[in-house]
Amino acid sequence: MKFFRVIFILNLLLLGIMSCGDDDMKPIDGGDNNPTDNFDRTAMLTFWADEIIIPGYENYTQALGQLKKSSDAFIVNPIESTFDELSADWLKAYKAWQGVSIFEIGEAESIGLRNFTNIFPTDTEGILNNIDNGDYNLVLPSNFDTQGFPALDYLLFGMSDDKSEMINLLAQEVASQYLNDLVTRLNDLGNQVLDDWKGTYRNDFVNNNTSSATASVDKIVNDFLFYYEKYLRAGKIGIPAGVFSGNEISTSVEAPYSGIYSLELFNESLDAVQDFFNGKSNIDGIEGESLASYLEYLNTIIEGDDLVAQINNQWNIARNKAQELNPNFTQQIEEDNIKMLETYDELQKVVVFLKVDMLQVLNIKVDFVDADGD
């Protein structure tokens, strides 16, 4: 099978990117290539629900609650101190979002939470039209990119280069009403998803512990992969760096108007992905059953090396490469895009391990359409 792995990678290298193929994998003990899988999926699902996902949403909704308080305080008293508190709470909530965005399952999937929360680049013209007209429906798909954290990034930092003027603009009744509507909607949607997890969905998720395309493990692993590929690797780095279009799109980075938080949000996202893989709560550090322990249980190696170690080592390489980037990704792309492309390349190498090697040994099939050729 090593032959096919090499052929796939060589073919995709001709397109200028690393990608994936089959692999040469076997148990470390050299035994049967398909050992009996008696791993305790229920224990893993229980840990995911009780120690990672629900605490993550609790942390997120608490941050949203504080954002709502600071938004209300600014609207009542639009001065520099309340504006600064509002800006700080926006960042805290945005960072907390990175820890739960992976889990587009259950109620989050039903309502399309990510679409209403973090679609960027935001549509600044649409935002201004909504404010001017005062007539908008944030439930409509046409308003995906006029709300959420990216829209708040524009309202708080993008309407003027002068802070005092920005405060005055945001203090106007129509603009402050839009601010209130955006923050209220984020808060309501976040609590809607948390309530579902704390209601019946937690037990449904844990009890759906079989090995099938509709089982919880298969679904959440696909969500995890989709998030990593499309929203972290491509959305935060690849698309703005021009990997897929051939043209740099420096304005398509995350949080372009605040300017200095793109790297910070990227780091939060990568930490959340790696912690989930390793079974570590990014809230309190508790560790439990995970994809890493599942792979270790199966005692698999890839071409002589432990798969879990390879995945973590490559993520660490990507993280270290990203630390060379300007905290302002827009400036980084415009001044030295090579470093963005290098970061993308290191992130892409993990896709081979996850999407080919891990899925094959766990016998999980990809359930999403791969639109960019990976």
Per DSSP (E only), the strands in 4-163 are 25-27
Question: Which residues are paired to 25 by β-bridges?
Answer: 302
The radius of gyration of the chain's CA atoms, rounded to the nearest angstrom, is 22
User: What is the spatial distance between Cα 348 and Cα 237, in angstroms, rounded to a whole number?
Assistant: 11
Residue 193 corresponds to which tokens in the numbers above?
């998803």
pLDDT at 370: 60
The per-residue pLDDT of the chain, averaged, comes to 90
pLDDT at 237: 98
4-13, 38-47, 229-238, 311-320: range with lowest mean pLDDT: 4-13
Residue 308's SS3 state is: helix
11-25, 43-57, 237-251, 277-291: range with lowest mean pLDDT: 11-25
Which CATH architecture describes the domain 54-209? Answer: Up-down Bundle (1.20)
pLDDT at 282: 85
pLDDT band at 227 (very low <50, low <70, confident <90, very high): very high
Contact between residue 63 and residue 70 where contact means Cβ atoms under 8 Å apart: no
Phi, psi at 287, each rounded to 5°: -115, 150
Contact between residue 70 and residue 84 where contact means Cβ atoms under 8 Å apart: no
Residues in the chain, how many?
A: 374
pLDDT at 372: 55
Answer whether residue 326 shows pLDDT above 60.
Answer: yes
* Per-residue model confidence as pLDDT tens digits over 144-201: 999 999 999 999 999 999 999 999 999 999 999 999 999 999 999 999 999 999 999 9
Rounded to 5°, the CA angle 242-117-225 comes to 60
Percent of the chain past pLDDT 90, that is, above it, reads 84
Rounded to 5°, the CA angle 43-44-45 comes to 95
Domain ranges of the chain: 27-36+215-374, 54-209
